[in-house]
């Protein structure tokens, strides 16, 4: 039987898995050294038993997603992803081959998005797998912030919503993703489950929205449209009126669109939600990405839904890690 890898062997393996970092100091010293005038920095963690279960999908999928959720936060600021630190706390029964697969999934996304691993921390865990990433991006001249929307501005999302919620509920009911092809030419075996672990990259879009000063504010939907919309508007003094018919709904398990409720509460979307400066609405169509106008910023704080000519107040709901 192969002896399990030691810490130093893991470091060597990780150095090989992720190509050499352009940072002046990389993996293996006490700190990484980053050289740049400004940095966007974010951190996000996947916890086994909370954010995923080990059996849901191959380890490559978990590795991909752990990095993707961080890149999505950078995109929501309009930052171009550059580097990341990786912390893994590995339980004894998560064998080396699985760690390698997890790393290879992460490395595939890192290579696709041109981000380099510059350091991290390896630890044992008593029983659950923890993957914590801190990601660094080059910010645009004016990072996309929350709280900057103005009345009358249209509200957009960058893709259909609800697929992750459908996938999550399918996996909780026993559905499993049999494979997670890292070669982009291989189609996924289950589009809905695959989407959960492989959110569409928002990096290019975020950069454009910030660089061309198109968006007045932005956030990535990680805890549900309604909750994240209320976060986006917080501090602006504004609210929003959504149009039920315009909220794009993803295909669910049976091929039919998910329900409106699911689309509005689905978390882990890693889809951008943003408000657009009034003078820029025409530019939106020239960005080369399909974007969906779902409503307008209103001068009064609160959320409303327009449906068949009737307007009703919404309660901001979504995923709260500490909610009931």
Spatial CB neighbours of 36, under 8 Å, sequence gap ≥ 6: 82, 138
Burial environment of residue 76 by CB neighbours within 10 A (0 to 12, 13 to 18, 19 or more)? buried
Tokens of 84: 């990341």
Is 141 a binding residue for a copy of itself by CB under 8 A? The answer is no
Least distance from C-beta 143 to a copy of itself, angstroms? 6
Tokens of 16: 């090989």
The rounded distance, in Å, linking the Cα atoms of 245 and 161 is: 13
- Residue whose CB is less far from a copy of itself, 31 or 313: 31
- Residue whose CB is less far from a copy of itself, 97 or 320: 320
Is 323 a binding residue for a copy of itself by CB under 8 A? The answer is yes
The rounded distance, in Å, linking the Cα atoms of 78 and 85 is: 20
Count interface residues toward a copy of itself (CB under 8 A): 66
Residue from 14, 21, 26, 48 in contact with a copy of itself (CB under 8 A): 48
Site string for a copy of itself, 65-104 (x = CB under 8 A): --------xx-xx-x-----x-x-x---------------
Is 178 a binding residue for a copy of itself by CB under 8 A? The answer is no
Spatial CB neighbours of 105, under 8 Å, sequence gap ≥ 6: 58, 59, 60, 61, 62, 63, 64, 180, 182
Is 45 a binding residue for a copy of itself by CB under 8 A? The answer is yes
Contact predicate 88/48, CB 8 Å: no
Residue from 34, 244, 253, 287 in contact with a copy of itself (CB under 8 A): 34
The rounded distance, in Å, linking the Cα atoms of 74 and 77 is: 5
Region binding a copy of itself by CB under 8 A among candidate stretches 54-62, 134-142, 159-167, 188-196? 134-142
- Residue whose CB is less far from a copy of itself, 10 or 64: 10
Contact predicate 297/155, CB 8 Å: yes
Is 207 a binding residue for a copy of itself by CB under 8 A? The answer is no
> Which residues form the interface with a copy of itself (CB under 8 A)?
4-10, 24-25, 28-45, 47-51, 73-74, 76-77, 79, 85, 87, 89, 118-128, 130, 132, 134, 136-137, 139, 143, 145-146, 219-220, 320-323
């Amino acid at each position: 039987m192969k002896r399990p890898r030691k810490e130093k062997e893991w470091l060597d393996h990780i150095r090989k898995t992720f190509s050499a970092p352009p940072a002046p100091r990389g993996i293996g010293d006490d700190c990484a050294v980053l050289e740049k005038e400004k940095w966007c920095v974010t951190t996000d963690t996947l916890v086994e038993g909370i954010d995923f279960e080990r059996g849901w999908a191959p380890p490559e999928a978990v590795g991909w997603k752990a990095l993707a959720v961080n890149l999505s936060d950078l995109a929501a600021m309009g930052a171009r992803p550059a580097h990341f630190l990786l912390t893994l706390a590995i339980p004894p029964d998560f064998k080396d081959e699985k760690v390698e697969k997890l790393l290879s999934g992460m490395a595939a996304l890192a290579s696709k998005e041109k981000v380099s691993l510059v350091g991290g921390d390896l630890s044992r865990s008593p029983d659950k797998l923890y993957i914590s990433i801190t990601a660094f991006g080059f910010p645009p001249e004016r990072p996309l912030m929350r709280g900057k929307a103005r009345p009358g501005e249209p509200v957009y999302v960058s893709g259909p919503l609800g697929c992750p919620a459908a996938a999550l509920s399918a996996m909780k009911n026993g559905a499993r993703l049999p494979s997670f092809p890292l070669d982009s030419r291989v189609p996924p075996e289950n589009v809905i489950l695959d989407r959960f672990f492989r959110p569409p990259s928002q990096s290019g879009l975020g950069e454009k929205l910030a660089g061309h000063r198109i968006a007045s504010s932005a956030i990535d939907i990680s805890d549900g449209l309604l909750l994240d919309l209320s976060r986006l508007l917080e501090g602006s003094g504004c609210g929003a009126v959504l149009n039920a018919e315009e909220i794009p709904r993803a295909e669910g398990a049976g091929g039919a669109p998910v329900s409106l409720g699911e689309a509005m509460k689905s978390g882990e979307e890693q889809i951008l939600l943003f408000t657009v400066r009034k003078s820029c609405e025409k530019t939106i169509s020239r960005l080369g990405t399909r974007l969906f106008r779902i409503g307008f910023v209103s001068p009064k704080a609160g959320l409303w839904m327009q449906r068949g000519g009737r307007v009703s107040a919404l309660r901001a709901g979504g995923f709260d890690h500490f909610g009931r």
